[in-house]
Amino acid sequence: MAGMILGDGILLSYRFNMPKTETETPKMKPRPIVRLAIFLISHSLLVCVVCCTAGVLALLLLPLLAKNTYISENALMPGSASSMISNRDISEANRLASDLSGLNFEPQDAAALESRGILTKYMSDLGAEVSYHKFHHKPNQFHPLHFFSSPDSTSSVDNFSCSAQGVNTVGIIRAPRGDGKEAIVLVTPYKFGKSGTAETLSLSIAYTVFSLLSRVTWLAKDIIWLVADSQYGEYAPVEAWLRDYHTPVFTGLGALNADTCIKIDDLYALEQKPIAQTKISDGFRRAGTMAAALIFKVADRNELLEDTLNIYAEASNGQMPNLDLINIVNYLAVHRQGLRVKVEKVLSLLDSRWLEILGEIFEVLGKVARSLNPGWKFGISAADYVEGSATLASSLYNQALGIPTGPHGAFRDFQVDAITLEISPKVSSHNKARHNEFLLRGGRLVEGVVRSINNLLEKFHQSFFLYMLTSPSKFVSVGVYMIAFALLVAPLPLVAASLYADANQLDLGVKNTKSTTTAPDELDITFRSWKWLYAAKEVFLVHVWGAAVSLLPYFICQIPNCSPTTSSVIWVSLSMLGLPILYLIAGSPSTHVSISQHEEKGEWAILKSVTISAVFIGLLLMSVVNFATAEIGALLLVPMCLMAQPLMLDMKAGKFRSFFRVICNMVLGFVAFPPAAYFVAKTLFEGSDSINMGDFWNWMESLWAWNSATYIYIGMVHLPCWALCLHILLHSC
Amino acid sequence: MEKKKRGFWRWLIASVMLRLILIYLPKTFNLASRPEISTPLVSLRRLAEGYWLKKSSMSPYAGSMYHGSPLLLSLLGPLTVKRIEGQPDHLLCSDGDDSLHILGYSLVFVIADIISALLIRATGHTLQMAYRQSLNSLDIVDLFKSSDSLSSGDVAALVYLWNPFTIAACVGLSTSPVENLVVILALHGACKGLVPLAAFGWVMATHLSLYPAILIIPVILLLGYGPDTPPRKLFLQKGYGKNGDNHSSDNCGQQETNHSKAEVTFSWRPVIHFLFWSSLWSTYVLVLCSISVKPHGSLWEMFRRTYGFILTVEDMSPNIGVLWYFFAEVFDFFRSFFMIVFHLNILFMILPLAIRLKHRPCFLAFIYIAISSMLKSYPSVGDSALYLGLLGLFLDELADMQFSFFLLCGYIGVSLLSPVMHNLWIWRGTGNANFYYATGMAYACLQEYGCSFTEDSDLYSFSLPPPPTIIILQIILVVESVSAVLNHDRKLRKLSVTKLRDGNS
């Protein structure tokens, strides 16, 4: 918005200072804001440098500016009640675990059925309503524009195979004090039939909590325990269940669905006989709207020092759950259960030298500031700074990618706040007492969180949705991190305006050039203000090309037996081919040069101005959709767009400054090319030994398979703007 | 010239193809349910609902679903009937059979778009002819030879056809293409002097969406004065100049003055005809309507459910306008006051603009449409499609427009931002209504603007209405185009003066 307003001011200033040769009124003094705008435009180079530097600096300062988290919703009251999990629950859970791991059937199907049966029996013994949910695993589909539409409610009945069918087990406890309109969801991914000890452990934690919750009197929200059949990944079963949960089925579609896979249904019938007494409903069971969801699992790896809790929160397109949810988990884990809480970090940043130096500088600055005024709580230790920036970088990267970091992402698409808790136990879990203590800790943590959420009167709304974590207990809110982005993109409208003004020979009143009253000829005056149309046409064409390029994978996917490397080669070559074809169809942009022949600078300057406007609009839009993508994109695009100038001009000038600019342009032009940027980043963070052309294809494929808006951004904003900048660079003057 | 004509037809056919392709495409965007496209007034879904109610012999206005004209119901309703019979399909997803019906009523809108474009083209030709003629009589034609290359009618028609807003309104199953068609019909009739056609267009447009009622002023001016001309003063000046110039041949100068006098006189005959015809047409329309709604209620019921619905802003579901949010927030006891204020806002602008721009009635009509499409209670992108299309008609006059590039950027930005904000608010839950409303405000601000920086003090004093509410904004687009036109007039004056001086010296 600020940019908009600024833009208005600038254009107004044009308006105001338009060559008014025919009016004989004395020149009025412009308003202060207009004068400010004119001043900014006329010093756009300086403003650019200052703003961009400040933008990068503000980004680096973010770990310093992070605030401590606090619980904003009063109703939550985490940890105010003492835990009620008893040894009885734990011994029950252990019995379940031993029953499950005692199964050693050779055909895995049978083992899966048997273990599901056991689980069902245990659940229904607790008084829960148990139901099965069948789903079909769908392979990746190309629908990148999915982002703008609602969550897909149409279940595609066609083209699934019976072999790719999974069965979720759902247990629901009805709340004694609730009206059945709200629910809390617990999810444990579990591979029936082929599970490891870690998964069984997570199941027993969940069972511990579930058995407690079936007895308590304070429950006001129904509890849904979803044991997700994770043989096709952890995300797919949860997503399928959620979709069916939110899609009412009116007709006998379910029956139709069931008929198609008779074999599996027969197996059900066989298997259900032994436990015929238990009531298993075949229909889909629902509780109320979901207040929150917790996905928890036990990690396979062991920690050396103490039990550790990893929190994953990033959902699709950089959406985050409400900060309060993370807060209560963090609070209970640290202050009640004594777990060590971690969030993801970019490990390679932890031992990077330059970050450390930067941290030390900030530390010194902080000390100086504190010596000047003890009230200034500025500055953190260098180690904290490095840690914070590594976490922030990971947060930024995961949000920018737009791919959920776990099954919790499926919930966020239905506006349910959810996080994944991954608990890693300390080594030597064979010890029985140690094992029970671990169960107790995990169970108490989940119980505490459920109890807090149970207190909630409305859905989470008090705390932030837009934030980035720099540690489990520190965050940067939207108001702070937007500053860095705003500073970075602020020069764009200024430069666009100043280029436009230059090219149109608008008198800005500051430059004191001789006014344009001499009027080259009437024709030029008449259509001067529409001259940008040709540049706009070119920009539009390149964007069409970008859209076509981003649609190409849809067709490339149809080619059978295509390795990622060949796919990416086909993609690149088809894209290259597309550009000349497009020009052939729509007419080359160079046919319209005649309109502005007498101006040398004019043509590319106008093109640059239009390009920069397109970049500005694109980045602003993206910052609303997914801030992190826009921030990273701006870091790449903004310097390139601002620097771009025909190489020929600089070559001709032959000064040191222009030579420097040529080098900068080349480097930026290389780095901003999406595949190049990908490989450069990969080399920087993972080392140069594993570079493969197919990686880029795989990466892009994961983007579109997850409906990431980043894919659209790369195809429709980043790539066209890069091509346009390249066009400007290679422009012949 | 021949080549140019072929080019026009080629582009026209291409636009039709594009529409058909978009209609056939799977409904990824689900355009018909977007709030930007289908408002309660123009949504075809609601029309189908109304038709279904009527079929089951209930009042089509029962249940506050349908608020359009009963005539539209009888015209378009039968096309939607298949879709209603296959009710379960409608709820789930379309099967192959369904696409045929969609094609059925989409074709109506495509045809409406094409006819509108052709009418705009014809109007543009008429306007350009008149413009040339008046320039001829001012002896400054040679300076504008350059604009021969662009026929403003063609440009306007293509702008109308290829405007993404038009395409979205056409593909997104809203009835606004039909409403736009009748408005253009009225303007075309008035430009060509076809009084019955103009009267029919005006009556139908008023009947369908009420706001075009204010077009009666430009239509009367068009019929009275003929198409747009440079200001009358110019002709008089020229007459005087000639007079002063040719002292010797006094009678010749007298003739010139007489000639220009004859050109600017207001002819009452077509206006009387127009009034007669429009009363005839409106009686006819009312009779048809009363026959149509007879079994379910009276005409009064119809007026209450259509015009009443428009004027009282009953439906406060989000749209791109500025009123829904305001009336959702306002206290009930202030409601009627603000309702009057908002509607007066449009009326306030009518008279000053009419006085200032009476020599350019077509342009005046454009301004009226732009203003009403921004201040109306349920605006949709179909309305902006109409005035953006008409903008192309004034190519010669608007050649000096200063903000053109900024306006384009603004329109692109807002039209992309609007679905994103809607998504944030409705589907992701991280935004709220303010986010979406902000884009609505920005959209209105693109047409309106906060303070008038135009150089014409006369325009400033005339067109700024007494600002009683949040709308103290004036119109960027409107101000900009008005000032461009006035500047253009000024330039013409200057040119003719210099011409005279040259002739003198």
Q: How far is B401 from chain A (nearest CA, A)?
A: 6
Q: What pLDDT was estimated at residue A59?
A: 92
Q: Which of these ranges, A196-210, A454-468, A620-634, B387-401, has the smallest mean pLDDT?
A: B387-401
Residue A159 is predicted with a pLDDT of 47
CA–CA dist A309, A303 (Å, integer)? 10
For B411, nearest residue in chain A (alpha carbons): A617
Would you give the DSSP letter of residue A595? G
Q: What pLDDT score was predicted for residue B448? A: 54
pLDDT for B398-430, tens place per residue?
A: 776 667 788 788 888 888 888 888 888 887 777
pLDDT grade for A6, boundaries at 50, 70 and 90: very low
Q: What is the ipTM of this complex?
A: 0.80
Position A234 scores a pLDDT of: 87
Answer whether A439's CB lies under 8 Å from A33's CB.
no
Mean pLDDT on A526-555: 81
The residue of chain A with its CA nearest to that of B396 is A526
SS3 (DSSP) at A300 = coil
Cα(B178)–Cα(B208) distance, integer angstroms: 9
Q: pLDDT tens for residues B452-490?
A: 222 232 333 233 332 222 222 335 677 777 777 777 777
User: Which segment of A689-698, B143-152, B360-369, B375-384 scores lowest on mean pLDDT?
Assistant: B143-152
Q: What pLDDT sits at residue A109? A: 74
Distance from CA of A315 to the nearest CA of B (A): 11
Chain B: closest CA distance from residue A153 (Å): 9
A707 in reach of chain B (CB within 8 A): no
Of B233, B232, B230, B255, nearest to B242 (Cα)?
B255
Distance to chain A for B442, nearest Cα, Å: 9
At residue A280 the predicted structure's pLDDT band, cuts being 50, 70 and 90, is: low
Alpha helices in A247-322 (DSSP H): 253-259, 262-272
Task: Examine the pLDDT at A297 and tell me if it is beyond 50.
Answer: yes
DSSP B424: I
Q: Confirm or reject contact between B148 and chain A (CB < 8 A).
A: no
With CA atoms as reference, the chain B residue closest to A501 would be B402
The torsion angles phi and psi of A132, rounded to 5 degrees, stand at -100, 145
- If you search the block for the tokens 């109610």, which residue do you land on? B53
What pLDDT is attached to residue B196? Answer: 92
A170: β partners: A131, A226
The half-sphere exposure of A205 on its side-chain side, counting CA atoms within 13 A, is 33
Scanning the structure block, which residue is given the tokens 């200032």?
Answer: B356
User: Looking at the predicted structure, is the pLDDT value of residue A537 above 90?
Assistant: no
Q: What does the pLDDT look like over A641-678, one tens digit per residue?
A: 988 888 888 888 778 888 888 888 889 888 888 888 88
Which residue of chain B is at minimal alpha-carbon distance from A504?
Answer: B402
Cα gap B208→B203, rounded to integer Å = 9
Res A275 pLDDT > 50: no
Taking 60 as the threshold, does the pLDDT of residue A141 lie above it? yes
> In whole angstroms, what is the distance from residue A697 CA to residue B193 CA?
64
Query: pLDDT grade, residue A83 (50/70/90)?
Result: confident
Q: Which domains does chain A possess?
A: 1-73+479-530 (no CATH), 107-136+152-344+405-455 (3.40.630), 345-402 (no CATH), 531-733 (no CATH)
Is the CB of residue A45 less than 8 Å away from at least one CB of chain B?
no
What average pLDDT does the structure give for chain B? Answer: 76
Q: Report pLDDT for A270.
A: 45
* Residue A533 pLDDT > 70: yes
Pick the residue from chain B with its C-alpha nearest to A523.
B146
- Which residue in this structure is represented by tokens 């199964």? A103
Across residues B268-291, what is the average pLDDT?
Answer: 91
Mutation to test the A interface, candidates B409, B446, B454, B496, most A Cβ within 10 Å? B409
Alpha-carbon distance values, A369 to A54, A66, A336, A476 (Å): 20, 17, 36, 21
pLDDT at A521: 44
> Whole-angstrom Cα distance, residue B218 to residue B360?
9
What is the distance of C-alpha A71 from the center of its chain? 24
| pLDDT value at residue B204 | 93
Radius of gyration of the CA atoms of chain A, in A: 30
DSSP helix/strand/coil, B360: coil
pLDDT at B252 over 50: no
pLDDT at B125 over 60: yes
Contact B403 A15 (CB under 8 A): yes
Which A-chain residues 58-97 have CB contacts (< 8 A) with chain B?
none
- A286's CB contacts (< 8 A; 6+ apart) are A245
Q: What per-residue confidence (pLDDT) applies to A161?
A: 52
Task: Report whether pLDDT(B450) > 50.
Answer: no
Among A72-76, A331-335, A467-471, where is mean pLDDT lowest? A72-76
A525 or B221, higher pLDDT: B221
**Comparing C-alpha atoms, which of A48, A214, A141, A278 is closest to residue A706?**
A141
Which residue in A25, A625, A712, A717 has the most chain B C-beta atoms within 10 A of its own C-beta, making it the best mutation to test that interface?
A: A625
| Cα angle value B487/B492/B496 (rounded, 5°) | 150
Residues in chain B: 505
pLDDT at A475: 92
| CB pairs A-B closer than 8 Å | 100
pTM: 0.84
Is it the case that residue B91 has pLDDT exceeding 50? no
Find the closest chain A residue to B495 by CA distance: A22
For tokens 């039209």, the residue is B415
Q: How many CB atoms lie within 10 A of CB A466?
A: 18
Give percent above pLDDT 90 in chain A.
20
Of A149, A522, A525, which has the smallest distance from its Cβ to B29's Cβ? A149
pLDDT at residue B435 tops 60: yes
Report chain A's mean pLDDT, rounded to a whole number: 79
Across B191-200, average pLDDT: 90
Interface test with B, best of A14, A18, A149 (most B CBs within 10 A): A149
Q: Which residues pair with A336 in a beta bridge?
A: none
CB atoms within 10 A of CB A684: 12
Per-residue pLDDT, B201: 93
Q: Do residues B222 and B361 make contact, with C-beta atoms less than 8 angstroms apart?
A: yes
